């Protein structure tokens, strides 16, 4: 598909260039051949008019322009113009093919990305749907299914439905942030954002007896409030999820040269060097997180976080040590 689109685009480039080039060549040929004919005619007329009167004897000293020579010049001019046009055709064909490739490259990347996204999303949706289906089928076949067991089944189904809802919510969020529109950028208060984010994860922290220390300074920045709250909920949620009971999560901030540096530190399981290279990829989860019971997720949080940071023209960095903890550092411009 990409190759045929590239050939088509090259064809269009060539058509435009050749139309312009041929139009110019025809015009140049017309003007020059008219001029040659005019010179030859003027000279012939002068001779014919002046000769009988004997007025200009020096006219004999002027060279006579041979009409054959004029025709030959016109033919040469035509051949030169055809050669030039063939040269333009070949050069613009090669250049056009190269430029068409460059023009289509980002579109190809986007299309590839989208089809990968659809494949990944359907793959992730299939797993809970299959387990939901088989669970229902097995229980329907069970002739002795009683009320307590049916309730148990419904509870388990509900859990799967919740997972599916969480996944579809996150897929929608990711698509929205990728579209990069509809966000309102205004002056926002960092401390307020952090307080809102902490409120959303406090129950999770309490369940694991984790203390979230909010050491954020009251700094103002330009941004979309809801997206920034979402960003910190993702980071805090991960910090709590991937920490053992009773540890601390600390959030700090400092202002450096027009930037705000925010650090979310945890004392959790840490991330290996190999995983750090991939954690911002969609649907990526380290093997540890996949196998660990009770740690839910689909590997979408950090890719959403990255989209939000990109939208705010910021940067995110991770430092981590296995079984010691991780530090997610976010750099956001104060104004841009």
Near ligand ADP by CB under 6 A, which window of 88-96, 182-190, 204-212, 279-287? Answer: 279-287
Q: Which is nearer to ligand ADP, 190 or 316 (CB)?
A: 316
> Does residue 223 belong to the site contacting ligand ADP (CB under 6 A)?
no
* Contact call for residue 266 and ligand ADP (CB under 6 A): yes
| Residue 302 burial (C-beta neighbours within 10 Å; 0-12, 13-18, 19+) | buried
Contact of 264 with 196, CB cutoff 8 Å: no
Shorter beta-carbon distance to ligand ADP: residue 224 or 266: 266
- The residue from 239, 308, 309, 332 that contacts ligand ADP (CB under 6 A) is 239
**Applying CB under 6 A, does 300 fall inside the site for ligand ADP?**
yes
Question: Which of 121, 210, 228, 271: binder of ligand ADP (CB under 6 A)?
Answer: 271
For residue 330, what are the β-bridge partners? 262, 316
Distance CA(197)–CA(232), nearest Å, equals 6
> Binding to ligand ADP by residue 128, rule CB under 6 A?
no
40 contacts: CB under 8 Å, gap ≥ 6: 65, 67, 70
Q: Which of 10, 92, 163, 289 binds ligand ADP (CB under 6 A)?
A: 289
- Measure the CA angle with vertex 217, ends 212 and 222; round to 5°: 110
Residue 4 or 291: which CB sits closer to ligand ADP?
291
Instruction: Please enumerate in sequence order all residues whose Cβ is within 8 A of that of 65, keeping only pairs 6 or more positions apart, or say none.
Output: 39, 40, 43, 44
For position 297 contacting ligand ADP by CB under 6 A, the verdict is yes
Binding part of the chain for ligand ADP, among 36-44, 54-62, 138-146, 267-275 by CB under 6 A, reads 267-275
Of the candidate spans 31-39, 99-107, 176-184, 285-293, the one that interacts with ligand ADP by CB under 6 A turns out to be 285-293
Instruction: For residue 163, give the nearest of 139, 138, 140, 130 by alpha carbon.
Output: 130
Select 92 or 303, whichever has its Cβ closest to ligand ADP: 303
Give the CA distances from residue 303 to residues 240, 251, 268, 278, in Å, rounded to whole numbers and listed in that order.
18, 20, 20, 10
For ligand ADP, give the closer residue by CB, 195 or 319: 319
Examine residue 267 and tell whether it contacts ligand ADP (CB under 6 A): no
* Residue 302 interacting with ligand ADP (CB under 6 A): yes
- If binding is defined by CB under 6 A, does position 163 make contact with ligand ADP? no
Long-range pairs for 114-119 at CB < 8 Å and ≥24 separation? 117/282
Q: What is the DSSP-derived secondary structure letter of residue 269?
A: S
177 part of the interface to ligand ADP, by CB under 6 A: no
Rounded Cα distance between 232 and 194, Å, is 7
In this structure, what token pair is assigned to residue 105? 């490259």
Which residue number, 36 or 302, has a Cβ lying nearer to ligand ADP? 302
Binding flag, residue 316, ligand ADP (CB under 6 A): no
Q: Could you tell me the smallest distance in angstroms from the CB atom of residue 286 to ligand ADP?
A: 3
Helix (H, G, I), strand (E, B) or coil at 86: helix
In the list 92, 163, 227, 326, the residue contacting ligand ADP (rule: CB under 6 A) is 326
| Lookup result for tokens 């025809």 | 26
The reply on whether position 299 binds ligand ADP by CB under 6 A is yes
# residues near ligand ADP by CB under 6 A: 23
The CA distance from 175 to 167, in Å, is 12
> Which of residues 189 and 319 has its CB atom nearest to ligand ADP in the complex?
319
CA-based nearest residue to 270, from 306, 239, 294: 239
Residues that bind ligand ADP (CB under 6 A): 234, 238-239, 242, 266, 268-271, 275, 279, 284-286, 289, 297-303, 326
């Amino acid at each position: 598909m990409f190759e045929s689109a590239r050939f088509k685009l090259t064809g269009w480039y060539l058509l435009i260039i050749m139309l312009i080039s041929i139009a110019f060549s025809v015009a140049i040929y017309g003007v020059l051949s008219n001029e040659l004919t005019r010179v030859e005619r003027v000279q012939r007329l002068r001779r014919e008019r002046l000769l009988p009167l004997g007025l200009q004897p020096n006219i004999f000293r002027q060279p006579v322009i041979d009409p054959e020579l004029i025709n030959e010049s016109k033919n040469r001019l035509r051949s030169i113009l055809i050669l030039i046009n063939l040269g333009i055709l070949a050069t613009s064909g090669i250049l056009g093919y190269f430029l068409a490739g460059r023009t289509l490259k980002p579109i190809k990347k986007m299309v590839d990305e989208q089809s990968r996204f659809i494949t990944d999303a359907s793959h992730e949706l299939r797993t809970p749907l299959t387990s939901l289906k088989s669970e229902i089928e097995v229980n329907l076949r069970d002739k002795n299914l009683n009320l307590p067991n049916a309730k148990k089944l419904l509870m388990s189904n509900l859990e799967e439905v919740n997972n599916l809802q969480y996944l579809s919510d996150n897929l929608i969020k990711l698509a929205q942030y990728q579209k990069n529109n509809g966000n309102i950028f205004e002056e926002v208060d960092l401390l307020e954002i952090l307080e809102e984010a902490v409120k959303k994860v406090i129950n999770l922290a309490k369940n694991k007896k984790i203390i979230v220390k909010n050491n954020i300074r009251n700094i103002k920045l330009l941004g979309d409030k809801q997206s920034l709250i979402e960003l910190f909920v993702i980071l805090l949620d991960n910090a709590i999820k991937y920490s053992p009971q009773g540890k601390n999560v600390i959030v700090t901030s400092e202002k450096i040269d027009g930037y705000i540096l925010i650090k979310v530190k945890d004392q959790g399981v840490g991330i290996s060097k190999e995983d750090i290279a991939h954690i911002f990829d969609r649907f990526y989860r380290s093997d540890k997180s996949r196998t660990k019971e009770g740690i839910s997720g689909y590997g979408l949080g950090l890719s959403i976080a990255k989209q939000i940071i990109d939208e705010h023209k910021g940067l995110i960095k991770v430092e981590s040590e296995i079984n010691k903890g991780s530090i997610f550092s976010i750099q956001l411009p104060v104004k841009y």
